[in-house]
Amino acid sequence: MTLPNKFSGIGLVIAILVLILIVGILFIGKPLISPPQQNSSFYVCPAGQNCQPGNGTTLSKENLSTAQKKLSTDLLQLTDSSYLPIGLTHDAMVIQMEQNHQLTHAAETGDTLVYVYIKTSDNADLNNINKSVWNVTNTDPANHLVVAWVDVNNLINLASLDSVQSIRSVILPMTQREKGL
């Protein structure tokens, strides 16, 4: 008794997939498909690997300067590659932030600009902040927020201002189309 052609085609596909998996295990030493690892960060590393922090713990801000403490972790990592998790390169982080529309390059100068929320003190002199940013896109005086594009090389200087309480990257909403749904 023979099976109909559509079942033999499915069986052939399954057999090929199993064969590929077995060959992968034999030659690579590990399965081609592996379960997610614990302590994986949300970053995408080169070759699609998960990045993990070197010591498996979160970043300690105890040894940071006052200005560095005001930066969100991703901005701190953007300004100093030594804070990146193992497996994540500065270039990979820049590419990811570009894809998320958080980072761009100024056409005129080539400066690397990052899109940020700047939380200010109640009596902040916005002129000092405006001098330290590339372009202010919005302000929310009631909540003491400035939304701006800032040169990555100027983040620490901006954070060192007494009127700046914190700087966080802007995370734009993602639509269903961007998610591929």
Q: What is the pLDDT of residue 149?
A: 94
153 with 68, same domain: the answer is yes
Pick the more confident residue, 91 or 63: 91
Q: Is 28 a domain residue?
A: yes
**Phi, psi torsion values for 128, nearest 5 degrees:** -65, -40
Q: What is the pLDDT of residue 26?
A: 61
115 with 147, same domain: the answer is yes
Q: Could you tell me the residue range of the domain that residue 59 belongs to? A: 52-179
Q: What is the pLDDT of residue 28?
A: 57
Average pLDDT over residues 129-138: 90
Question: Can you tell me the distance from the alpha carbon of 45 to that of 93, in angstroms, rounded to the nearest whole number?
Answer: 8
pLDDT tens digits, one per residue of 80-124 = 988 888 888 999 999 999 988 899 998 888 889 999 999 999 888
Q: What is the pLDDT of residue 81?
A: 87
Q: Does the structure show a pLDDT above 80 at 160? A: yes
Q: Is 41 a domain residue?
A: no
Q: Is 42 a domain residue?
A: no
